[in-house]
Amino acid sequence: MELLEERIRRDGVVKSEGVLKVDSFLNHQLDIDLFDAMGEEFRRLFADAPITKILTIEASGIGIACVVARHFGVPVVFAKKAQSINLDGEMYTTRIESFTHSRVYDVIVSKKFLNADDHVLIIDDFLANGCALNGLIELVDEAGATVEGIGIAIEKGFQPGGDDLRHRGYRLESLAIVESMDPETGEIAFR
Ligand code: 5GP
């Protein structure tokens, strides 16, 4: 998506260790007009899919998911990072290793908000190694629901998550795929 790539080139900051900072429009200050254009594009890309729910993970996926959801006219459910898991059977649970904070979180979704009839579009801001998405897919599988597709704002194509998910047959649409980025020059190349 041209608009997003231009914005990443203009305002993205390449950090060391493969991290791209996009705090000024995607992760801290949020550009809602840009989110709206992204929502419209996801709607076009998944026009034929019978989506009943958008699933994301707190915190940075929520803003994008909410704007995307308006284009599909369906609710957003976000997976919560839990302090402790209450094993009363009311929750779907999984564990996710955080790329940016290098720690493992227990993640939950209430059984009230995801069930076997749901056709889910998973939305997130970044795709790196795929840990967050694999966790979200597990939650959908636990519910017996269907993963219709995965929509990502920025995929880092030099990390393995995206190619792995495509090989496993998931319908994955990333609006910008960063092929390489150089922390010395700040240069970013897209696939
Ligand atoms: P993964 O689970 O695919 O390894 O990493 C995806 C998650 O880590 C995303 O939910 C995102 O919040 C965070 N993340 C991964 N790489 C980056 C990055 O380069 N920049 C930012 N801002 N977040 C990232």
- pLDDT above 90: residue 102: no
User: How many folded domains does the chain comprise?
Assistant: 1
Mean pLDDT of 20-39: 98
- pLDDT above 90: residue 72: yes
Q: Specify the pLDDT at position 140.
A: 98
- Tell me what ipTM this predicted complex has: 0.98
Consult the annotation and say whether 132 binds a ligand.
yes
Residue 189: inside a domain: no
Query: Model-level pTM greater than 0.90?
Result: yes
Q: Is 52 in the pocket of ligand 1 (CB under 6 A)?
A: no
Residue 5 is encoded by which pair of tokens? 């790539």
Q: In which domain, by residue range, is 156 found?
A: 2-180
pLDDT in tens, 148-160: 999 999 999 999 9
Q: Specify the pLDDT at position 86.
A: 67
Q: Quick one: which atom of ligand 1 is closest to the CA of 20? A: 19
pLDDT band at 186 (very low <50, low <70, confident <90, very high): very high
Residue 159: inside a domain: yes
122 beta partners: 55, 150
**DSSP string spanning 139-160?**
HHHHHT-EEEEEEEEEEETTST
Which CATH number covers residue 9? 3.40.50.2020
User: Judging by DSSP bridges, how do beta strands 104-110 and 53-57 pair with one another?
Assistant: unpaired
Q: Quick one: which atom of ligand 1 is closest to the CA of 26? A: 22
